[in-house]
Amino acid sequence: MSTILDRVAKIADRYDELTQLMADPAVAADFTRLSEIDRERQEIEELAQVYRRYEVARTQLQENQALLEETDEELRELAELEIESLTSELAALEKQMKSLLLPKDPRDDKNVIVEIRAGTGGEEAGLFAAELYRMYVRWAEAHRYKVEELSLSETGLGGLKEVVFAIKGKGAYSKLKYESGVHRVQRVPVTESAGRIHTSAATVAVLPEADEIDVVINDNDIRIDIFRSSGPGGQSVNTTDSAVRLTHLPTGIVISCQDEKSQLQNKLKAMRILRSRLYEIEEQKRAEALGAARRSQIGSGDRSEKIRTYNFPQSRVTDHRIGLTVYQLDNVLNGALDEFIEELAAHDQAQRLEAMSAELA
């Protein structure tokens, strides 16, 4: 912990230095420099304040430990109570400082684009994909996030082959970024006459929605195809050629949007999805550069990883990454995901703290 404290102490000293600089008339007269200093100061302000509280508590602890040598029994008892309280406070402050030292994911405040695709299991997988879609919509509505459907492809029995939708609101990505992966369902399908339990799956991908400044797309890298919208079974649902298919030539990514009646609106939606896919590719490359330790963390978003099982006969939902099981399947499918979200975030933070401590050791 001493190495971490040394690091935090330097940051606290830097905060004091920046505070003094802001009071300098020469700095105050330079708006650009003042803004830069203020921005840096705000970034480390909470950590510096926690460290100063830690210093005060540590001094008080030392003073009370000295009182244990006193002959006055009542005074010693009071000191022992203070020592117990201050020891707990110091441990909490240490944990808070470690947490604040962790680099913040710059994508956390972004909106998200969620892609759900039916996997193995035929029609049952499509029905499960539709249930996952409703689950995330209900979760978003409960947290007052806005949901925008971008692309939807149905099956003939009310299921979904694929759905792409945006969830808009500050911190949406920080909440949902651990949902990427393979979700399994175990139940007796409505089409099963013998009552046998089947296992089906759907894939969920959660992408931070990229702004135009995050990803620059060269027009020459895109092929645009226009076609007529179609519904389940291929029947035409639109008499105009309004559906849009974008092909990103360098990567081979293909995006199709046909839900809007306007060709322009479909193109704009397709571009949003493409931009976020390309942004994800760049982020994955960056994560690879950070090494295997980062890739092993639960926030890596590996789409091929089996992350959660929804077992209907036992009303059980199990997250395999953290071993968390709840027996409230109906509630979960109605959007009660917070317990999983909070536990996954805590687990990820613990892994990152462990990695940071190992690096500083």
At 118-156, the pLDDT tens digits run 998 888 999 999 999 999 999 999 999 999 999 899 987
Task: Tell me if 267 sits within 8 A of 244, measured CB to CB.
Answer: yes
For 175, residues 6+ apart whose C-beta sits below 8 A from its C-beta are 143, 341
pLDDT classification of 361: cutoffs 50, 70, 90: low
pLDDT value at 34 more than 80: yes
Query: Could you give the 3-state DSSP secondary structure of residue 71?
Result: coil
What counts of helices (H) and strands (E) characterise the chain?
10, 11
pLDDT digits (tens, 9 = 90+) for 283-336: 778 767 655 444 444 444 445 679 999 999 999 999 999 999 999 999 999 999
pLDDT digits (tens, 9 = 90+) for 221-271: 999 988 876 655 444 445 567 889 899 999 999 998 887 778 888 888 888
* β-strands 160-168, 198-208 pairing: unpaired
pLDDT at 299: 45
Domains of the chain: 2-101 (1.20.58), 114-351 (3.30.70.1660)
pLDDT digits (tens, 9 = 90+) for 55-98: 999 999 999 999 998 888 889 999 999 999 999 999 999 989 98
Average pLDDT of the chain? 87
Tell me how far CA of residue 62 lies from CA of 9, 23, 39, in angstroms.
19, 34, 36
For 14, residues 6+ apart whose C-beta sits below 8 A from its C-beta are 44, 48
* β-strands 146-154, 222-227 pairing: unpaired
pLDDT at 298: 46
DSSP-assigned letter for residue 230: B
Beta bridge partners of 154: 160
Task: Tell me if 80 sits within 8 A of 33, measured CB to CB.
Answer: no
pLDDT value at 356 more than 80: no
